[in-house]
Amino acid sequence: MSNEFITDVDELIRILGLSGSVRSDVNYGLGYPLLVPRDFVNLMENGNPCDPLLMQVLPRTAESNIIAGFTNNPLDEKINDEKINTGLPILKKYCGRALLMLTRQCGIHCRFCFRRHILQYAAPQHDLQLPTETELGADIVASLDLIMSDKNINEVIISGGDPLVQDDEKIKKVLDYIEKIPHVKRLRIHSRYPVIMPKRITERLNSVLKRKKPVYLVLHVNHPNELSENFLARLKILNAPVLLSQTVLLRGINDNVEVLSELFEKLADNRVIPYYLHQLDRVTGAAHFEVNIVDGCKIVTSLRERLSGYAIPRYVQEIAGGNCKKLLL
């Protein structure tokens, strides 16, 4: 287990100098364990059990509540006509697009993650020197072959887990393969890694993402406190991909105009265009994060009165079985 991550709840409570009473609201028996980079913990406020970054990662007793309408697979995701747990890691849901799940591993366990029930629960080993000839794996190769054979696919979305858990050489091999497919015009990568562990942003990564075809890097960021000085400084390295962001609307964390206005304005100031503001996916264990859609629409309406149009993301909701996202406002 890499020392760059915290996996023990008591250690996290101790590091942050939190009162022992916090333990009474911690659920130690969940099947979805704590995983958070120390870099991310360093951005949390000591002694504050309601810190907005802490609340995203600390397992709480509310996660055990059984709430109608919340399920383990809220988007009813299927891969290659099989359930995500057993099929190939490719999802063809929207017209012209295919999503490749490059890994089921992540660098942080957000408590509201809609794929929390299918992730692999192990910390990435960033202190290891991975061989440059790492094999892609039979399932990834088979998925890439499916993309090659389907001429209706013009955009490939690389997701997970978090694809930037993988070493640069594996990412390069995947992108090299996809770029050679004539009918694929664009590539998109969704990641939280540059935010939670800024050292993942390197010149080498930038060179891997530099392509003849357009590459879009979508960063997952939920609160302005996540935009550390280190992250913003390293962000300047990334001049190869187009930078976008996505945010999940979370009760008690970012469900107010002031917080989101600061977040989106700061992102725009640093060449990151806010792309999506997601209504919470109704995954089991995350009901306490849900914001009423009516309240969400009021927040977005207020944002429109404050921010330039390019700094306001689309407020959307994923619909199980739908062929596109539902635009809420």
pLDDT tens-digit map of 161-185: 899 999 999 999 999 999 999 999 9
Segments in 62-188 forming alpha helices (H): 138-149, 168-179
Give the chain's radius of gyration (CA, Å): 19
> Is 299 a residue whose pLDDT tops 60?
yes
pLDDT attached to residue 133: 36
Instruction: With CA atoms as reference, report the closest residue to 286 among 130, 116, 152.
Output: 116
Please tell me the least confidently modeled range out of 23-37, 165-179, 309-323.
23-37
Neighbours of 178 (CB within 10 A): 21
Neighbours of 230 (CB within 10 A): 15
Higher per-residue pLDDT: 74 or 4 = 4
Query: Reduced to 3 states, what is the DSSP secondary structure of residue 26?
Result: strand
Residues 6+ apart with CB under 8 A from 131: none
> Is 119 a residue whose pLDDT tops 70?
yes
> Is 285 a residue whose pLDDT tops 60?
yes
Using CB atoms within 10 A of its CB, is residue 250 exposed (0-12), middle (13-18) or buried (19+)? buried
For residue 25, the one-letter residue type is D
Tell me the per-residue pLDDT of 214-233, one tens digit each, with 9 for 90 and over.
999 999 999 999 999 999 99
Tell me the per-residue pLDDT of 76-111, one tens digit each, with 9 for 90 and over.
877 544 444 446 688 888 899 999 999 889 999 999
pLDDT attached to residue 83: 45
pLDDT attached to residue 129: 37
pLDDT attached to residue 132: 35
> Is 202 a residue whose pLDDT tops 60?
yes
> Is 131 a residue whose pLDDT tops 60?
no
Confidence class for position 118, pLDDT limits 50, 70, 90: confident
Tell me the per-residue pLDDT of 59-71, one tens digit each, with 9 for 90 and over.
999 999 999 999 9
Tokens read off for 30: 């969940």
Q: How many helices (H) and strands (E) does the chain have?
A: 10, 13
How much is the average pLDDT of 280-309?
97
Higher per-residue pLDDT: 18 or 122 = 18
Domains of the chain, with CATH numbers? 5-64 (no CATH), 78-327 (3.20.20.70)
pLDDT attached to residue 181: 96
Confidence class for position 289, pLDDT limits 50, 70, 90: very high
Determine the longest span between alpha carbons in the chain, in angstroms.
59
Q: What pTM was estimated for this model as a whole?
A: 0.92
> Is 126 a residue whose pLDDT tops 60?
no
Residues 6+ apart with CB under 8 A from 165: 103, 105, 106, 107, 124, 193
pLDDT attached to residue 21: 82
pLDDT attached to residue 2: 64
